[in-house]
Structure formats: structure tokens, C-alpha cells
Amino acid sequence: AYINPVIAVLLGWLLAGETLSPLMIVAAGVIVTSVILIISRGRVRRIVSLRSRKRGSNPTVAKAA
């Protein structure tokens, strides 16, 4: 969902001959990088959560105590 504007801009450039400004290219890079970071952090959290469940510990409870 986050990358849809980037795809729309690229399709406009490829199919309709729209021009891409340097700022648009930088913005697209920021969006793509952000999506990659969001996805990768979600995977790390899931892995940590699965490891905690296997050990029988709950890190959120341990932090609160």
C-alpha cells in the first residue's frame, strides 16, 4: 500500500512520458527504503517473539517488573 504512489509515478514515466524531477526520484527512494525498513523490523520482532515463546518467557512482563 505504501509503494503504490511510486508505482504510479513510474508507470506515468514509462507509459505517458511524464518527466521525473530529481526531488521525485529522491522521494521515491525514501519511500522504498522506509518500506524495506518497516518490513524487516516486523520480521525481526516476529523472530524475537517466537524465540521468547519457545523459552516460555514474556519480555514485556520482564520489562514491567
Instruction: Please count the structural domains in the chain.
Output: 1
Q: What is the pLDDT of residue 61?
A: 54
Distance set, CA 56 to CA 19, 20, 44, 51, 59 (Å): 56, 52, 18, 9, 10
pLDDT tens for each residue of 7-63: 999 999 999 999 999 999 999 999 999 989 888 877 666 666 666 666 665 555 555
Q: What is the pLDDT of residue 41?
A: 78
- Number of helices followed by number of strands (H, E) in the chain: 3, 0
Q: What is the pLDDT of residue 38?
A: 87
Q: What is the pLDDT of residue 59?
A: 56
- Domain coverage including residue 52: 4-64
